[in-house]
Chain A
Amino acid sequence: MFAYIIRRVLATIPVMVVVALFVFSLLYLAPGDPAAVIAGDQATPADVERIRASLGLDRPFVVRFSEWAWHIIRGDLGISIFTNLPVSRMIAQRIEPTLSLMVVTLVLAVVIAVPMGVVAAWKAGSWIDRAVMAFAVLGFSVPVFVVGYVLAYYFALGLDWFPVQGYTPLSQGFGPWLSNLVLPAVALSSAYIALIARITRATMLEVLQQDYIRTARAKGAGQRTILFLHALKNAAVPIVTVIGIGIALLIGGAVITESVFAIPGLGRLTIDAILRRDYPVIQGVVLLFSFVYVLVNLLIDLSYTLFDPRIRY
């Protein structure tokens, strides 16, 4: 097991190298010029050229990539072209809001979606099943920003239960922290709940047809024991896989949710950096997201051993 973890961790290195090269090349080829954005609309072409030269953007690809890669190897993500702040500091400033949003969303989604899917499978064909599936279709179909605006309209502007925007660090208290996250997390989790609930239902339906479930029933096991101990545990592997894949969805959804609720997270940092062509920030954030994604996949693979003793690494 330990050797397997080491192998997987080492395997992330070539993945990160490929990601780095790909991101750098893509940004190099993509249209856009940070010098022109810095100079402003009324700057003359000569002003833009001077700024471009001062930023070193007129140097060849190989020189720029080598310099950046050398810094990355030493753990330095570089300096933002616009703010002159270290990229690592900008990411550190933004990581808490995004992490908080993702954790609350994930908890909310799993706590709601898994029981929903289990109940839908148990009551397959009933009105409960149809209601769960209808909700799932709705959750998939309505864009996260629409859900966000509707929630803000009713629960912030209408009932005044929550603020419409912003983020309060956890260090300022659990209540304020949670209060800022409830609406965005509910909005972001809607599609995620739908996804997990559908997968849970489908997997559970299959498992509930198995012989060992019939045996459990014959032995007189209660419904709850059958559903949550025998069936759900055996259905867990695909569900956990989907939860893992969903984290990638969450990263994408967080970008929109953070804009709708003005949360200063990594999603907004990414969008701002892309629009301005702040290359070091884009590269830093994409590398981080890639690393997180690789890590999540590793954790999911390891978690399989908890649910299925036949899986050994």
Chain B
Amino acid sequence: MINRRQWLGGAAGIAGAAALPRFAIAQGTGGSSSRVLKFIPQADLAVADPIITTAYVSRNHGYMIWDTLYGFDQDYRPQPQMVEGHRVEEDGRRVTLVLRDGLKFHDGEPVRALDCVASIRRWATRDALGQVMMTVVDELSAPDDKTILFRFKQPFPLLFEALGKPATPVCFIMPERLAKTDPAVAVKEMIGSGPFRWKADERVPGARLVYERNADYVPRADGPVSWTAGPKRVHFDRIEWNVMPDAATAANAMQNGEADWYEQPPGDLQDLLRRNRNLTLEIQDPTGLVAMARFNHLHPPFNNPAIRRALLGAINQSDFMTAVIGTDKSLWRDRVGIFTPETPLANEAGMEVLTSPRDYDKVKRDLQAAGYKGEKVVLIAASDFANLNALAQVGHDMLRKCGLNVEFVSADWGTVVQRRASKEAPEKGGWSMFFTFFAGVDMVNPGVQQALRGHGQAAWFGWPTAPKLEELRNAWFSAPDLAAQQEIAKQIQLQAFQDVPYLPLGQYFQAWAYRRGLTGIVKGLPIFWNVQRS
């Protein structure tokens, strides 16, 4: 039996514990150790296999665990990473890659060429550029443990780019036993040869992921650290990804010293974080995110290219970007064409369709002339992603101003991705338009751009049929040098403004917030080598 005095004692104990000073009770939640980095990722890691999915968070997780044969530098050029070097022979029809010494998987097994071959084959079934590559591969083999041999039916100058690109899915190298998994089934183990090991026992799905330094990792000895190229030297023992779906909570955690690095602070919280003298906000990915409105090309009214073309005259990219990220022009860019601005293939060909004065009356006349008869336009919008919802709201307003008969369907992303797979007519559960964005690295060339494909029913959602775009894309694969690629890119952009597979809506940049004491953060992706606490 508890008596009154015991009750009072217990209550006082509880009250005392609640009133303990912060420094005494915060262990385990805040107060970063110098060897532990606490990171708030853009989203939870829903799918841990970076080959089965194109989700960016899975790609970023992939760079922790797995290594790549080539990296990409800030000039968008592939650089050797796991390979010591390569030989190109027989006019590019035979390419030999030789692995570096000392590469070892986390289970202690050495990395063999056979592992690389199996990994390349699995990746190539999922990746657009990989699929093109495999159509010209005659032989992909491992003559010995350190040599990977490609024999091509015709030269494939984009081989190193394909193997090193950071666009999703990335060609990560897995042990052969994992790489032989069906590409439609996620691998069950997180065993790689990358600079960090996965702490499976500490994973709390939806809340926390933990990686520890791979002590056996041998970084490259040469080259500067640049994007995913160069030596991967790790200065932290442990990286913790703490998932915080609520942006205000994440911002509070940053301000309170409970996290070191916040990947995607939303625009409306950036000023708040910028005012905190312990934090730095910086745009580290110059390719940003490129927004678009995607048409359904199978059904009226957007099966009519003239109607799609007419809408180019209504787009005011600054309206879309302001809605997404705010009025600070350093955070977004308009006048964005088909390729990511300031990357090698970006060009001005035909840009007047986007940059000439906007005139809704003219757009209405053009729509009538194109044969628009008031067909219903079903716009599907994801309400659970603020940036996608903002794009859809502005797009809805734009379409109404153009005189289109719009039905705005707001749903969560899970519903949108299901509905957009429907090829039914809009009034029978299908759709006419949705909004999305791609990372800038996924829009830098025709090889990685899904939305530019025009191979009909097999194309990305929207299913455009655009044979000239396909012809130009194929020509780009065979272009011998950058100048030839750039010339084809201009033609692609001109043709894209004729076929209009999608409407380009601008580019915005996502600032990262991190503690001032962190140095050596690598530009491009949130990757954790080279970073240290000063």
Whether the Cβ atoms of B29 and A38 lie closer than 8 Å is: no
Q: Bound complex: CA of A153 vs CA of B27, how far in Å? A: 20
A10: interface (CB < 8 Å)? no
By beta carbon, the residue of chain A nearest B20 is A175
Most-contacted residue by chain A among B258, B384, B411, B414 (CB, 10 A): B414
B369: interface (CB < 8 Å)? no
| A-contacting residues, B172-223, CB 8 Å | 182-186, 188, 204-208
Whether the Cβ atoms of B246 and A180 lie closer than 8 Å is: no
Known contacts: A46-B458, A82-B47. The answer to whether A260 contacts B414 by CB under 8 A is no
| A-contacting residues, B18-76, CB 8 Å | 18-22, 24-30, 44, 46-48, 52-55, 58
Give the residues in chain B near A85, CB-CB below 8 Å: 205
Known contacts: A41-B436, A163-B30. The answer to whether A260 contacts B246 by CB under 8 A is yes
**Stretch with Cβ within 8 A of B (4 or more), from A60-68, A227-235, A262-270:** A262-270
**Interface of chain B, helix or strand or loop or mixed?**
loop
A36: interface (CB < 8 Å)? yes
Give the residues in chain A near B102, CB-CB below 8 Å: none
Contact of A53 among B19, B184, B252, B413 (CB under 8 A): B184
A174: interface (CB < 8 Å)? yes
Known contacts: A31-B411, A165-B258, A264-B208. The answer to whether A50 contacts B18 by CB under 8 A is no
| B-contacting residues, A43-71, CB 8 Å | 43-48, 50-51, 53-54
Known contacts: A40-B55, A44-B459. The answer to whether A175 contacts B204 by CB under 8 A is no
Whether the Cβ atoms of A164 and B26 lie closer than 8 Å is: no
By beta carbon, the residue of chain B nearest A111 is B11
Write the nearest CB–CB distance from A174 to chain B, whole angstroms: 6
Known contacts: A44-B459, A54-B182. The answer to whether A152 contacts B252 by CB under 8 A is yes
B256: interface (CB < 8 Å)? yes
Whether the Cβ atoms of A40 and B17 lie closer than 8 Å is: no
By beta carbon, the residue of chain A nearest B451 is A42
Write the nearest CB–CB distance from B189 to chain A, whole angstroms: 10
Most-contacted residue by chain A among B21, B255, B418 (CB, 10 A): B418
Q: Count B-side interface residues using an 8 Å CB cutoff.
A: 68
Give the residues in chain A near B253, CB-CB below 8 Å: 164-166, 262
Bitwise interface map of A from 69 to 85 toward B, beta carbon under 8 Å scored 1, else 0: 00000000000101111
Q: Bound complex: CA of A271 vs CA of B28, how far in Å? A: 25
| A-contacting residues, B206-261, CB 8 Å | 206-208, 242-246, 248-250, 252-253, 255-256, 258
B126: interface (CB < 8 Å)? yes
Whether the Cβ atoms of A259 and B245 lie closer than 8 Å is: yes
A135: interface (CB < 8 Å)? no
Q: Bound complex: CA of A182 vs CA of B26, how far in Å? A: 13
Whether the Cβ atoms of B415 and A54 lie closer than 8 Å is: no
**Interface of chain A, helix or strand or loop or mixed?**
helix
Write the nearest CB–CB distance from A262 to chain B, whole angstroms: 5
A192: interface (CB < 8 Å)? no
Write the nearest CB–CB distance from B198 to chain A, whole angstroms: 13
Most-contacted residue by chain A among B207, B411, B458, B461 (CB, 10 A): B207
Whether the Cβ atoms of A262 and B415 lie closer than 8 Å is: no
Contact of B205 among A36, A80, A261 (CB under 8 A): A80
Give the residues in chain A near B14, CB-CB below 8 Å: 178
Contact of B417 among A33, A47, A82, A164 (CB under 8 A): A33
Known contacts: A45-B461, A175-B25. The answer to whether A264 contacts B186 by CB under 8 A is no
B498: interface (CB < 8 Å)? no
A168: interface (CB < 8 Å)? yes
Known contacts: A179-B18, A264-B204. The answer to whether A172 contacts B27 by CB under 8 A is yes
Whether the Cβ atoms of B460 and A44 lie closer than 8 Å is: yes
| A-contacting residues, B405-435, CB 8 Å | 411-415, 417-419, 421
Whether the Cβ atoms of A163 and B54 lie closer than 8 Å is: no
Q: Bound complex: CA of A173 vs CA of B384, how far in Å? A: 37
Known contacts: A166-B242, A175-B25. The answer to whether A48 contacts B256 by CB under 8 A is no
Whether the Cβ atoms of A149 and B248 lie closer than 8 Å is: yes
B389: interface (CB < 8 Å)? no
Whether the Cβ atoms of B184 and A168 lie closer than 8 Å is: no
Whether the Cβ atoms of A32 and B418 lie closer than 8 Å is: yes
Give the residues in chain B near A175, CB-CB below 8 Å: 17, 20, 24-25
By beta carbon, the residue of chain A nearest B46 is A82
B372: interface (CB < 8 Å)? no
Bitwise interface map of A from 172 to 212 toward B, beta carbon under 8 Å scored 1, else 0: 11111011101000000000000000000000000000000
Write the nearest CB–CB distance from A100 to chain B, whole angstroms: 13
Q: Bound complex: CA of A68 vs CA of B320, how far in Å? A: 45
Most-contacted residue by chain B among A44, A46, A157, A262 (CB, 10 A): A262
Give the residues in chain B near A45, CB-CB below 8 Å: 421, 458, 460-461, 463
A275: interface (CB < 8 Å)? yes
Write the nearest CB–CB distance from B159 to chain A, whole angstroms: 22
B360: interface (CB < 8 Å)? no
Give the residues in chain A near B206, CB-CB below 8 Å: 264, 268-269, 272
Give the residues in chain A near B55, CB-CB below 8 Å: 40-41
Give the residues in chain A near B412, CB-CB below 8 Å: 32, 275
By beta carbon, the residue of chain A nearest B460 is A44
Q: Bound complex: CA of A162 vs CA of B147, how far in Å? A: 56
Known contacts: A152-B252, A166-B258. The answer to whether A176 contacts B184 by CB under 8 A is no
Whether the Cβ atoms of B54 and A83 lie closer than 8 Å is: no
Between-chain CB contacts (< 8 Å), 9 pairs: A37-B414, A38-B52, A44-B460, A82-B46, A163-B258, A166-B30, A168-B29, A178-B14, A178-B17
10 further interface pairs, Cβ-Cβ under 8 Å (given A36-B417, A272-B205):
A32-B415, A33-B414, A41-B54, A41-B436, A43-B126, A51-B184, A84-B186, A168-B27, A264-B204, A276-B46
